[in-house]
Structure 1
Amino acid sequence: MIVIRDWLRLKPWEKLLIVTSENHMPEAEVLRHCAHRRSKRVDLMVVEKRGKHVGIFFDHHEDVFDGYQAVIGATDYSLVTTKATKRAIRRGSKFLSLPLSTNNGKSMLSYRFMMMDTKKSKMMAGIIMKYLNSSSVIHVRTKLGTDLKLYKRNRRAGFFNGVVKDGNGFSSASIEVYVPIEETKTEGILVPDGSLGYIGRVEDPFHIYLEKGRITEIEMTREGERLKEYMSDFHDSGIYVASELGIGLNSYAKCRGNSYIEDESAYGTFHIGVGRNIALGGVHEANGHFDLVAKRPDIYVDNRKIIERGKIIIPEPEFF
């Protein structure tokens, strides 16, 4: 009911489409049951493709959501950066990204991080976005060796907190601030020590090198080899482009590698999104998008520190 009532805010006259896959049918049925308490016009679409390539169909069929006023993407992977989603948002439909992939067999709908106060996360986002949107260069460092410079000329930060109204009709279960960074300028080193997106938890941190916006080298540890194999399976050089900076806002979430959405949402983490970013306000196309998560960053905007060891240090409300 959090998803249907509080996040999507489904109205009786709205027709809803829930996009899912066979392995998430129990969750989709629960969502449909809850939705029927608010609207009788609820359809299910079950996609055949699973995993990282699920978005291809929604790139090839941009008009697939045209008959609906609300859509929930409840497959394994996010549909948020697909062309069909972009078209739906442009046409005024609500879209909620709810990727249900987990690595421990536990339904994402049962995770405690779903209980995060959306008003609090919106307030947190507003504080950070104020400084991001008045800056042009972002510098991220960690004690483990991350040292990245990212650029955002003519790019605006946004945020997700689940509530589609707060996102002007578009949101994600990932509670975060995001910036669609300039795709050709990121320079430096990323040392992920949280998770590797859908792959799961990082056991041993390793180095990823970026030049002119692209991953140019991955340290060949066991973890590095896992990431390299995963990325090569996209069969698209565009997946190596750094296209997003994300900052987690969910104080209920923990970065444990069990849930992709929980990992990237966790307060005290940041992530670099690679691959497509068109739905976030960028211009880069690719066969997919996923995030590399690291913990306890120091983040500077135009040389002003706004986050220290993962904690917001700019003026903030008393309840933080």
Structure 2
Amino acid sequence: MNHLVEISRNLIETCLGIKEKEEVVIVTDEEKRPLAEALYQAAQKLGAETVLMQMKEREKSGQEPPFAIAEAMKQADVAICITKHSLTHTKARKVAAAHGTRVATMPGITEDMFTDGAIAADYTEVKKLTETVTEILTRGKQVRIEKDGHVLQFSIENRYGVPSTGMYLEAGQSGNLPSGEAYIAPVEGSANGQIIVDGSIAGIGMVDEPHLLTVKDGRLVEVTGPVAAKLLATLGDQDGRQLAEFGIGTNHKARIIGIVLEDEKAFGTIHLAFGSNITFGGTIEAGVHIDLIVNKPDVFIDDVKILEKGSFIFSRATCS
């Protein structure tokens, strides 16, 4: 535990800038409480006024926490959400950030992830790359993803890219820890085509074989593969099947380990999510948000290739 406390202290001091006398709320559930206690002790060592709040485990990512926890997050200087399922795309996170809380969400994080992988990255470099990719997304109008002979296209026109840099030092900044991604909400109803998912799926883990997803007018209409039924059941048959997010991993240290918190940050991957996106520029409020990881795709924005088999290609056209 002492080792985890020291790692936690370095992490929250560097990435959240927690200072003496700041009010810190740590939100957890039964499964993640041992790691939450390490964070609690670390914040205490930094002299923060720290509260640990445990809630009943959420049923799926994107489900709101209890009202009392949402209120506590809103009133704190810093909120750290270390839970099995993600609170990232919830109103509670969005409202807390709007009130000036610095929010870090750590869904599904494990002890191994505390000591290796994405968390060990140079976050100065992660921040630089993430902000560059975010600018490209914000300027873009149309995305085309190609992989293994399948193509998925959608609009991002008039949408703003979101940087998740891993450094949340200013009031109202929020994102994942560990981090390293730039993402955006596709225009609802604009997506058409097919995509191969061969990395992992949030709440399910690494996939043993590729899954083929078919999207029509922004809605997931068919999935083929061993966990297709489980994915569709989790998303439900309403707005949970709407394409909600397109993201690009920017962390060289991140690994594909079957936990989406790290998987979606991996350099060389993109991810798509279905469900809610109202918290980052979209209009969908579905009570669920499920990310799916794609390895080494080709990605074009406005017909300019920015990723070739997962590797960045930055030209003057994309960076100027």
Q: What residue in structure 1 maps to residue 249 of structure 2?
A: 248
Q: What residue in structure 1 maps to residue 117 of structure 2?
A: 112
Q: Using the TM superposition, give the Cα deviation of residue 267 of structure 1 relative to its aligned residue in structure 2, in angstroms.
A: 0.3
1:279 aligns with 2:279: yes
Residues 272 and 56 of structure 1, relative CA distance in 2, 3 Å threshold? same
Spell out, residue by residue over 1:25-81, the C-alpha distance to the aligned partner (whole angstroms, 9 max, x if none). 210111011111223410011011244168333479753423311101100111011
Separation of aligned partners in 2, 1:82 and 1:166: 20
Secondary structure of the corresponding residue to residue 30 of structure 1:
helix
Q: What residue in structure 2 maps to residue 314 of structure 1?
A: 314
Separation of aligned partners in 1, 2:11 and 2:246: 25
1:288 aligns with 2:274: no
**When the two structures are aligned, how many residues end up with a matched partner?**
307
Q: Using the TM superposition, give the Cα deviation of residue 108 of structure 1 relative to its aligned residue in structure 2, in angstroms.
A: 2.9
Aligned Cα root-mean-square deviation (Å): 2.2
Residues 48 and 158 of structure 1, relative CA distance in 2, 3 Å threshold? same
Output the amino acid matched with 2:232: M
Q: What residue in structure 1 maps to residue 212 of structure 2?
A: 207
Spell out, residue by residue over 1:190-236, the C-alpha distance to the aligned partner (whole angstroms, 9 max, x if none). 110111122111111121100111101112x32xxx24324314545
Indicate conservation of the 8 Å contact 2:65/2:92, yes or no: no
Residues 294 and 235 of structure 1, relative CA distance in 2, 3 Å threshold? closer
Secondary structure of the corresponding residue to residue 66 of structure 1:
helix
Q: Using the TM superposition, give the Cα deviation of residue 122 of structure 1 relative to its aligned residue in structure 2, in angstroms.
A: 1.5
Separation of aligned partners in 2, 1:192 and 1:53: 19
| 1:51-62 equivalences in 2 (<5 Å) | 51-52=59-60, 55-58=63-66, 62=70
With the length of structure 1 as denominator, give the TM-score of the two structures.
0.89
1:27 aligns with 2:31: no
Separation of aligned partners in 1, 2:245 and 2:295: 16
With the length of structure 2 as denominator, give the TM-score of the two structures.
0.89
Secondary structure of the corresponding residue to residue 267 of structure 1:
coil
Spell out, residue by residue over 1:123-153, the C-alpha distance to the aligned partner (whole angstroms, 9 max, x if none). 11232233222221011111x2341112112
For residue 10 of structure 1, the aligned residue among 7, 18, 34 is 18
Identity of aligned pairs, percent? 28
Separation of aligned partners in 1, 2:61 and 2:213: 24
Secondary structure of the corresponding residue to residue 108 of structure 1:
helix
Indicate conservation of the 8 Å contact 1:273/1:289, yes or no: yes
Unaligned segments of structure 2, at least 5 residues: 1-8
Indicate conservation of the 8 Å contact 2:243/2:273, yes or no: yes
Separation of aligned partners in 2, 1:209 and 1:46: 39
